[in-house]
Amino acid sequence: MSSRVNLRLRLAYHLGNIIERQAEAFYREFAEYTTDQLIGRLCRKIAAEELAHQTLIEKHLSRFTPFPLIQMELDILDSGKAYRSLFSSPPDPKAGVKEITEYVMDQEKKMEALYTGFISDFAAASGLARLTELPELERRHVKQWQKIRDR
């Protein structure tokens, strides 16, 4: 694998790690503040799953030797700016179920898109096989929220 592809892969893992941390923090915090017990339980469950995703990504990220970021790397990270803002503007915990579920489903769909692109871009990378399950896990989160919305 070329050094440029290796660098892009490392930064993609890094971006995934940032997003999983944000998602996990969102779900944990939202679980504390929501007054809907079903939403609270689902938030705690998904927070644990996001932590597991983060652990998986960190395992792959640890294979890379850390080194200082240079401008090219910062530019690559900057291209992921839209994804870094995921879960950063949540609705009020007292918002209606429809508003909450629509927000969360949108964020999860964006995470799925990130991972689908990630897998497409780096299909030949070694060790990527375990990460191919991440888009499906994010789709599962969307389905769980759809059930809440439609109850």
pLDDT tens for 30-56 read 999 888 899 999 999 999 999 999 999
Q: Which domain holds residue 117?
A: 3-150
Mean pLDDT in residue range 105-128: 82
> 112: domain CATH number?
1.20.1260.10
Calculate mean pLDDT across residues 10-25.
88
Positive or negative, the Cα torsion across 138, 40, 85, 76? negative
Q: How many domains does the chain have?
A: 1
Quick one: pLDDT at residue 83? 72
CB atoms within 10 A of CB 20: 24
pLDDT tens-place string over residues 63-89: 876 666 666 666 666 666 667 788 888
* Listed residue (147, 142, 133) closest to 52, CA to CA: 133
Look at the pTM and tell me if it is higher than 0.85: no
